[in-house]
A and B are shown apart, each in its own frame.
Chain A
């Protein structure tokens, strides 16, 4: 064993000297043999000839010796590598085209996978993340997943044996007030064991401990994110012990989290800048009361670490048992509740939301996978043609003693080189795809904290793609080329032989396949474009032009309701007086925004009895003259007015659908309904036209507008301007600061932007798949062109004879076109059938169009037919220029 290894190593590293020795040994043998023949009386020349004959192929003997030495694998690989590089250099045209195609295919796949990886597979930055599980409350109001209340959390944490630790946390926004103007930063309110259960170590100072979140603990402490520490505190090593003002509370910095630690959740905004202990809850979440005591306030997410030896299933059943115990003890709040456990990696998004993200990613993955397949089959076609051209080279090598296996291996190494070069170039393509990420974040209703990187897993994926690509495009052509028949190849007529015909057939099939795949991709792109176009033409029902929206965070100031109303009126009056401002109003929810506020509704029935409407109805709190400013038509009654304020009778405007649902045929103005959860009864003063509330593709649902001066809610300022809306941002900032310097502003943007953002998912799908489709189309056109050119070239002799016999240019054109058209029609047909099956997959992202929309199918088919015919025509036209004299003389 050892001698074997030493021998191999010596052979590998002393390759040159061993080659020389082998050479010398064999030469000595040869000379002795010649001597022997000379001594037996032959003339020297005849003796040498005889010896050579006896010896057989010198190269072949050497090759077999190398094989016998057993080093040949690595050695021949290196040699193949050098040879392959030489071959690729010798054919720069072929190499460039093949590498470009592969770089597009591999690069796009790498780019999309880097996004998939960062969204779905990136582990939580914690110690042994596989042991972490997420726990949700279920059942109340029929929800599959809900957050949990703090008292429930404490019960689970203190009783569980399957979990070695359980943490609770809530993603919040904190107003940081130490800079010139307050800034809202994403943060987390966490239980004291948060960092110890996750197994995270500080990069400075200490992290939180259970002592920090003792209820009633007055120690106000905060842990900073590495990013915040670096960006805003200049990575100050003496930061520990200094204080920050957050939501008007003073907090002492105790430490800094490690670099790259951004918490568990990827949805709901940016990674946290601050971590506060639970003891600070009333400051962190003002106005919500003492959440740590309220069993019906489900604010917190839970993540636990499995105890050593405990299984996922054991944890699941234990927590379900606890949930049952809680339901028994607190039937009012927990009566219908259960518990559900997920792997924490699957819970980095809200579980119901994850499937939407996955669906979208799957669409992108399928599209880029198709592009890779098309690129591979295209390169395969090129290789087949090149294989025919290289048959002579192969035959010579076989004749010189190379085994077919060796040739096959060598061809595969050449292909591997192609794919690796493609991958290297593809990393640039991948970087371009990754630059799409800001777009990608917008594509979802919930902001995502995405950070795609070329990490080990992504590069591993690229490596796998390279191997898959080599198998896809290289295996078949290499096998065919290596099997080339020597005699046939060496004879003049080789190119027209049976092997040539078989290769041609394969080429045709490959080209047809490319067309079929392209048809699927382009039809998908077409459907998504039509979808986007239709959605863009949907009228939202309001006028978004020249409207600036400014989030005003009154909650973090812990204003009383009256104070908040007074503040709002002040702001409105002063903003409306600004030059360049037409009017100003308020809304708690922006149109085409994400947030839903819902309530149960009770309507007075015929005999004064109340009947409860099924399900909950959405409501918004809007300011005076909201409908006038937004251009929403009032069907009945009046707009909201300044006089609809605190103290006056509570009123509401409802939409057309709600009016039809509750007062069909009658006039709802003057009627009353109750919102039990809000503890109020409202008089309907107006009926407004239906508008799009969240998405442009929703169907109308009942909707209620309350007066923002009567209903205390988070508010956004809506300002109609005469000129560029964003120009008013600074004056508005000054006005708010003049009234209360510490109220933070957020999300300053135009309503046009908001409407545009609401289309970003369909737009992104259309753009990405459109780009993929475009590349597919280019690749397939090149493929059709190449194959037809090849077919025509192979038949130039036949064409020459036909023309010599009197065929017209038209007949020749048809002859050449016919070949290509057959491929095109078969490819398109197969593609349409495949598309009919495939587009179903993404019907969920098509809102404005059916997945089998006949118009799109027809248009795409005609378009592809046209492109295909053009790709055929160029080489076919060239065929008609064939000079019969020249072609026939060549033979």
Chain B
């Protein structure tokens, strides 16, 4: 163990937490089809076991005094070049403890659900291998004790995301979506890698202890801004923030458990984790925090408007996830890191719940995802329906569910620290959230059934509904359990790592809570009135608002803009390289040399007539020539 760290010793089995899912992944990968149905059990068991180990580790952590709540575990020296060395070091502190509990806990439920959801898939085993591999990389990401190991996990989850979005690669659009996700996040990842290089050149190391311990001594303020912004660019890509958010809605092409695990609960929150973890750098810069705040706010509002107009149930949830991640970054941008983490945990619960609920709906309706063809589903699938109601209420921010506490705290801090505009815009974001989730809820589960499939939808098997119920319980209770106020339980647990919560004065907590609740309920009521009461012709309503709904449904044409600005010129440039430069330039040169040699040879072979007498004439003339030459020399 590294002797520079303070903390409890004797916990040498932290590495089991990521190692068990890795073992599960390898087993499933090499076991292949022979394992059959066992694959799902192995994968779920691995994550479940990892969850238990995490629980024990965190309990151990709780046993120590507040200052000593850090465990580092040195596995082996990874890179050692001159003065620069990077070890495979794991670090468990309050922040990573929160993350591993979310990853393994919610991950376990999603794995169990996937046993039912993926049943009968021809690549059942491979699915679980990928899923376990993802959990391994995600755990590596949050447990890493230096930026390089974190980056390994960061890229690893990106790879698994790619593999799982394109899991049903037989359909070309799924493969395209996978590529889009990978390439878009790559833009951010490249910036992040440059950031890491900058850290090394400034401090000579990547270890968290040194880089984040006292950055003011080693890093200049301007450099800190550069590093922070580069790291944040990575977070923008991974967490699908504006302007790199375009990949997440398309990523819904993957199987629904993947959307729940990777694109709602864990991987996309890695960006938030990165910002919170690197908080000392962002604090030192100051400017970087403002950027985080603005990007988060813009994203939260922008994505919420897009979510309002989507007709695909999973795309609504995808835009909602982007929007909620925006809220987390807003919190981090206001130095309210514990609020960001709280929102992360709460969001992981209720958004995973809603994704799994959407998957259950698709399962019961022969893969139908169009909201316009649903309706009244709560009568056909009560468990899915009611758990979804809980998730939706939690997201809308209705007391006392998880989302209420999370969003309310962030808005409270905005109000109290004098960010009045942020408070107002954030409240607008909350209003939009309640509206779009209300629309989704009432369109899908209430009102009249609008299609044959909706009439005959059936409830999913218990292996899928039990995780739903457990997640619903989580969505109800995380709020109450983890928070009594903005300085509640989770916040106090995280404080040694993330620093104190900003304070200030403003409206009282009660007043803010009342406003938030009124807004949430009001928006839900409007959604009910428009989409489920039957008193409003929602098609005519939509038509009257055109062209806004059409633009919002298309994501305000950001994809089109990127296509025109980057993709099409890129393709044109590639076409130019291939069709003009390569064929007419490089190929022409090479072919020209070849053709010249051929023509020369064609001329040369004419000498070889095959007539012996003409060769003899050659001899003769040659001999005469030599004689003449000799004669002139005499």
| A pairs with B | no
| B interface residues with partner A (beta carbon < 8 Å) | none
